[in-house]
Amino acid sequence: AQRVTQPEKLLSVFKGAPVELKCNYSYSGSPELFWYVQYSRQRLQLLLRHISRESIKGFTADLNKGETSFHLKKPFAQEEDSAMYYCALSGTSGSRLTFGEGTQLTVNP
Amino acid sequence: AAGVIQSPRHLIKEKRETATLKCYPIPRHDTVYWYQQGPGQDPQFLISFYEKMQSDKGSIPDRFSAQQFSDYHSELNMSSLELGDSALYFCASSPFPLIGRSNTGELFFGEGSRLTVL
């Protein structure tokens, strides 16, 4: 079974402050991890994936297999980062994406 | 660019009625996924189709059925609706299935169909 946990439902930071959205997973095989984002009144969209090792909109996420974590980080949060963020997992043996509960990030001016 | 289109955007039904949701994937995407998101909950995987065949099945109730047609659009049929079926139903598409692929994973989501059961 695959499971994704995001311990924080709500996260509020001030503009310019660092932000970290936590994600832990459980999966017996070798997972593929993603972060999806949903801005207000927009559709869910991919933010970044661990295999790409990319930085998107200043966000990065490192897969830590030892801690089974895939935390999303940004050194300086911006107001336009306010959104719902979902961590998601895809197992190589299946086609589904399993989502975490989501973290609502609010960046205050 | 064309995105995933879902219809209707909003639907209100009474208990025990039936409802049909439609999903039109991005052109040349042959895999469709259906997710259900209840209030304050994460999206739950229901079912997926690849090349018009069911490719994976999640927590889809027996009262629900779905299929993918020759033009790759998909329909989710829900019968004997219950209050608990009230949710946002997302459809997503991808150009190929995730099974065994290590360089994919991006799902392109529609805006969702909000079903309210009274």
More confident position, B81 or A96? B81
* CA quadruple A72, A101, A85, B34: dihedral sign: positive
User: How far apart (Å, rounded) are the C-alpha atoms in residues A63 and A72?
Assistant: 10
Residue A93 has pLDDT above 50, yes or no: no
A51 sits in the region (left: phi over 0; alpha: psi -120 to 50; else beta) called alpha
pLDDT (tens digit per residue) in B53-106: 998 899 899 999 999 999 999 999 999 999 999 999 999 998 765 544 444 568
| Cross-chain Cβ contact A96/B50 below 8 Å | no
| Cross-chain Cβ contact B31/A86 below 8 Å | no
Tokens read off for B118:
């009274």
More confident position, B39 or A29? B39
Q: What percent of chain B has pLDDT over 90?
A: 72
How many other β-carbons are positioned within 10 Å of the β-carbon of residue A15?
14
Residue B98: predicted pLDDT? 52
Lowest mean pLDDT among A53-62, A93-102, B106-115: A93-102
| Cross-chain Cβ contact B105/A94 below 8 Å | no
Residue B4: predicted pLDDT? 96
Q: Is A52 helix (H, G, I), strand (E, B) or coil?
A: helix
Residue A10 has pLDDT above 70, yes or no: yes
- Closest to A95 (Cβ–Cβ): which among B41, B97, B102? B97
More confident position, A35 or A1? A35
Residue A29: predicted pLDDT? 80
pLDDT (tens digit per residue) in A21-45: 999 999 888 888 999 999 998 899 9
